[in-house]
Structure 1
Amino acid sequence: MLLNNPSMFYKKPLLIVYLFFIFIACKNELNLSFSEVNISTSNNHLVEVNIPDAKGNEGIANQINLIIKKTVVALLHTGEQDSITSKSIEESITLFNKEFQTFKTDFPETAQQWEAQIDGEVMFQSSEIISIAITSYVNTGGAHGTLNISFLNFETETGNLISNDKLFKDIDGFEKVAKTYFDKTVKDKDAIFDIETFKLPANIAYNEEGVILLYNIYEIAPYSTGIIEFTIPFEKVDSLLHFNSF
């Protein structure tokens, strides 16, 4: 039997191929890459900032970069957090240096130097979630500087920040598993401020091995204890997580 219009035979498969490439193109638009950028100013002698810079889909990349920069601005601020006026990292670096000069003017005999080191790292990236760590060491004249690590989790498709409670399908179930790993990690329970009550840390994120939990200095224990961290393998908690690890 002859086809009246042989070209009709090809329309459906060609449409499928076309839609496939459209789908791939859309997915590629969501793909993000990161490079490290150093941010400084001409008059800067105290501050070193090296952070990830997202590139790819402009809207998503801009959203991620904006949140990273706001985090750095907050870390460089020496006053109350609700009094932040800086609109950029560069402005924050300038203010940090100016405040040190004011400090030196007020206390000309002091040999104390100020410094700030801030570094960012992409710990994990998948089609659903991106986890970034921001590590800061800031010394503004105290007996010792302040070391702080902040985890930022982003939705890959939007660039929006993910709160800790949104990381889990079953946060209570995850907490039970986390406590067993916490108990294995912390040998000296007497060093913990409240040994009777276990709570999840402020910093939870994904890394290549699993879900990493990190307690900053003073969060649950004194300065001498240092940072407490441990990783729970994905296979132990996959069913409890909202975002896939692949």
Structure 2
Amino acid sequence: MKLSKLYIYGLIGILLMEACQLNTDKEKTQAGKPAADTLAYAYEDYIKYSSNLIKTSETTDTTFFAASYPVFDEPTADRFVRMALLGNDTTTVAEAAGTFIGEFDRFFASDPFPRVWTSASHAKVYSITPTYLALAIHASSYTGGAHGNYATIFKHYDLQANEPLALGDIVNPSFQNELTAVAERYFRNQENLGVNQPLEGTYFFDDGRFSLPDNFALESDSMLFLYNIYEIKPYVNGQTELRVPYADLERLLTDRAKRIITELNTPIEP
């Protein structure tokens, strides 16, 4: 009988590579490579399996919870990582895993035809400067249905002010409509749409009006806006990336955003 745990390990390996991590051993850590004068960190990997096995004529599967994430010695940065990864800065990864596995085990006991559940969340340091930390969290899950779900979520933290950052901290809320108008021009060009071509039918924008997600990343020369699956297109189309150059946003950016972008473009001294 084939053990499809081998498949599970393969899946986790792929997800970890997507999150720019180098191994899948349960407690192995890896030194981070931050920019000069920034916080040091190490990656930690965790995995927990259910003891309830689901057997078929060909395979034996088991539910699992997997996570990998950077660990900082600095307490506020470390709390930010836990909040970003788990939605709660007081919950540990082991506690979250126990909750997930416990829910499956109760389901397993009552369902005559249970399916394997999976949860894999992998956070990587997307950017780090002397005053700024950004995480990219790659998450996938399956708890039944036709297919699983996956998403990439960006989270931002001001190391200088010790507080999370949102879109309103990058572009002043009074300029959000102008930001949306600029971004729509790039979206229509990217999607090969005419200036007045309707968005209804092809996209899932409310009332057919273009809108931006709150999910964004700061890159060296542009803002990246990421629409995850189902946000504006059918599942089969996956994620949609939209980049808007800073050259068209300069007048809309806050002073804090300009500081961060300057740091992102400052060469790292050897």
Shift, 1:101, TM fit: 1.5
Which has more helix, going by share of residues? 1
Indicate if the aligned counterparts of 1:154 and 1:162 stay in contact, CA closer than 8 A: yes
TM-score w.r.t. length of structure 2: 0.66
Within the candidate set 89, 92, 104, 1:88 is matched to 92
* Farther off after superposition, 86-95 or 122-131: 122-131
Amino acid at match of 1:120: A
Separation in structure 2 between the aligned mates of residue 36 and residue 121 of structure 1, nearest angstrom: 8
8 Å Cα contact 2:136-2:153 kept in structure 1: yes
Greater gyration radius: 1
User: Of residues 177, 186, 195 in structure 1, which corresponds to 2:182?
Assistant: 177
Which 5+ residue runs of structure 1 have no aligned equivalent?
Answer: 1-27, 75-83
Question: Which aligned pairs between 1:57-68 and structure 2 lie closer than 5 A?
Answer: 58=74, 62-68=75-81
Contact 2:186 2:242 in 1 (8 A): yes
Show structure 1 runs of 4+ deviating over 6 A. none
Of the three residues 103, 106, 125, the one matched with 2:128 is 125
- Residue 20 of structure 2: aligned partner: none
Give the residue type in structure 1 aligned to 2:214: A
SS in 1 for 2:211: coil
Partner of 1:10: none
RMSD: 2.9
- Quote the Cα distance in structure 1 between the aligned partners of 2:40 and 2:249: 28
AA partner of residue 172 (structure 1): N
CA distance in structure 2 between the aligned counterparts of 1:200 and 1:238, rounded to whole angstroms? 18
Does residue 100 of the first structure (1) align with residue 109 of the second (2)? no
Residue of structure 2 in register with 1:205 after alignment = 217
Q: Are 2:31 and 1:31 equivalent residues in the alignment?
A: no
Superposed displacement of residue 185, structure 1: 2.8
Superposition deviation, residue 209 in structure 1? 4.2
* Larger displacement relative to structure 2 (138-147 or 217-226): 217-226
2:92 partner letter: S
CA deviations on 1:82-106 (whole Å, 9 max, x unpaired) are xx8x822210101111211222211
Residue 162 of structure 1 corresponds to 165
Retained in 2: the 8 A contact 1:123–1:207? no
The 3-state SS of whatever aligns with 2:83 is helix
Query: In structure 2, what is the Cα distance between the partners aligned to 1:114 and 1:43?
Result: 10
* Higher normalized strand content (fraction of residues): 2
Q: CA deviation at 1:118?
A: 0.8
Aligned-residue offset at 1:187: 4.5
Q: Check whether the contact 2:48–2:64 (CA below 8 A) recurs between aligned residues.
A: no
CA distance in 2 between partners of 1:42 and 1:192 (Å): 39
Question: How far does residue 130 in structure 1 lie from its aligned partner after superposition?
Answer: 2.4
Query: For 1:46, which of 32, 45, 64 is the aligned residue?
Result: 64
- TM-score (norm. length: structure 1): 0.71
1:48–1:41: structure 2 CA closer, same or farther, 3 Å change rule?
closer
Report the residue type matching 1:51 in the other structure: Y
**184, 204, 215: which one pairs with 1:193?**
204
State whether residues 77 and 159 of structure 2, in contact with CA within 8 Å, keep that contact through their aligned partners in structure 1: no
Work out the percentage of aligned pairs sharing the same amino acid: 22
Instruction: Return the letter of the residue paired with 2:159.
Output: T
Match of 1:69 in 2: 82
User: Does the residue aligned with 1:152 lie in a helix, a strand or coil?
Assistant: strand
SS at match of 2:72: strand
